[in-house]
Structure 1
Amino acid sequence: MKTPISRFVPVTADLIEQIRVWRNKSRIRENMLDDTLIEADQQRRWFDSLGQATDRQYRVFLQDDKPVGMLYFSDIGSSACHWGCYIGEDAVWPGSGLILEIAALDFAFGTLDVATLVAEVFEGNRSPIQMHRTFGYREQETKSASTRSGQAKNLICFSYAKADWLANRDQVLAKLPRQIRAAAEHIHFA
């Protein structure tokens, strides 16, 4: 299977409806603190607010120039930058979640130059929990949270220090399948 080119580009007006469709999929919404359906006017307001935001960034994940998901960061400039992601398309290259994980760490510690990256994952969301553990995140705590619809859930908090990623990156990638290591060489940020 051909190794994909993965690009992460800023959100543009022509992609906001696609992002809203992804974000409203039940498999994505059920893993978000804001688990309500997003209306088109809400999406436009969100997009308009991005131009003034200095503490958050959103990137569309393009796989061979096809939009397939999102990578986003908040609390940029604070002691701990938070991040999240999702894959909105069903037909993606196997290992795309691992590509998102590598991209998040490289972008946060390279481009954004943050000291600590934090990920919070609902307790039942097993795949990202396992990925964070595989990559060497430190498990911090489990805390209670309520979704916007009022559902109580537990969030597992993970953190990664920049110095740890810089020291561990090669060893982490060496543990991954060969095709993922090859794909990691084709991650680009715009």
Structure 2
Amino acid sequence: MAAKPDQFSLRPLLEVDEGLIRTWRNSDPVRMHMFSPELIAAKEHQRWFANALAGDSNRYRVLVFGGSPLGFVSFSPVADTGDTWSWGLYIGNPDAPRGSGSALGSLALDHAFSELGARTVVSEAMADNKGALALYSRLGFVRTGMRQVTRRSSSDPEDVVILAISRSEWSSSETPPD
């Protein structure tokens, strides 16, 4: 049974999230779809996390359901546009209820367009990440291009799908649950 969208919320990244975020990021289901799928060492994660907490808190959010953290989203400004942001997101909790991915995507887009002042949100996904591509399609993203990357764990180039959604496209869409 799918959870209802209004049962989810986004909250800022907190100090207590440090170990959880590293565990999620290093889990096989998340790591296999990352551009750098190697395990993240503790010191490397601690540096990143300290910088994340010291920076703009609007850029990092945790998806919560019933008081339990389920997923993570981060936003990065694209160049010096001021109104285009790139995101990275994942559900890290393996027991997350059905609908968590759609809830994370919807809440994150609301946050980007209302709190960050984004005009456009762009995303990239490995071409073999069918779950992410299906989610982005449900959210209203459109494919804008392709590129190739060579991940450190492989010597073969792999396809990456580039997608985008504008504020006006998001505000006129209705996102169905998973």
Q: Which category describes the TM-score, using the shorter chain as reference length?
A: 0.7 to 0.9
TM-score w.r.t. structure 1 length? 0.82
- Tell me the equivalent position of 1:42: 44
Q: Specify which of 99, 102, 105 is matched with residue 101 of structure 1.
A: 105
- Write the distance in 1 (CA, Å) between the matches of 2:118 and 2:139: 18
- Which digits, 9 at most, give the CA deviation of each residue in 1:136-166, with x for residues without a partner? 2121011111224345211100001112212
Query: SS state of the match for residue 59, structure 2?
Result: strand
- Write the distance in 1 (CA, Å) between the matches of 2:27 and 2:104: 19
TM-score w.r.t. structure 2 length? 0.87
Query: SS state of the match for residue 16, structure 1?
Result: helix
Q: Give the C-alpha shift of residue 56 in structure 1.
A: 7.4
- Write the distance in 1 (CA, Å) between the matches of 2:147 and 2:97: 33
Residue 169 of structure 2 corresponds to residue 164 of structure 1: yes
Q: Aligned partner of 1:73: which letter?
A: F
- Write the distance in 2 (CA, Å) between the matches of 1:119 and 1:153: 16
- Write the distance in 1 (CA, Å) between the matches of 2:140 and 2:61: 24
- Tell me the equivalent position of 2:22: 20
CA contact (8 A) 1:56 1:74 kept: no
Q: Give the C-alpha shift of residue 80 in structure 1.
A: 2.5
Q: Specify which of 11, 15, 23 is matched with residue 13 of structure 2.
A: 11
- Write the distance in 1 (CA, Å) between the matches of 2:56 and 2:168: 24
CA contact (8 A) 1:55 1:74 kept: no
Trace 1:71-82 onto structure 2 (pairs within 5 A): 71-75=73-77, 78=81, 79-82=83-86
CA contact (8 A) 2:72 2:91 kept: yes
CA contact (8 A) 2:10 2:61 kept: yes
Q: Give the C-alpha shift of residue 135 in structure 1.
A: 2.5
- Tell me the equivalent position of 1:91: 95
TM-align CA RMSD: 2.1
Q: Give the C-alpha shift of residue 54 in structure 1.
A: 4.2
- Identity percentage over the alignment? 27
Residue 159 of structure 2 corresponds to residue 154 of structure 1: yes
CA contact (8 A) 2:9 2:107 kept: no
Distance change >3 Å, CA 133–CA 59, structure 1 → 2 = same
- Write the distance in 2 (CA, Å) between the matches of 1:54 and 1:18: 20
Q: Aligned partner of 1:162: which letter?
A: R
Could you list the runs of 5+ residues in structure 1 that have no partner in the other structure? Answer: 181-190
- Tell me the equivalent position of 1:183: none
- Write the distance in 2 (CA, Å) between the matches of 1:6 and 1:56: 18
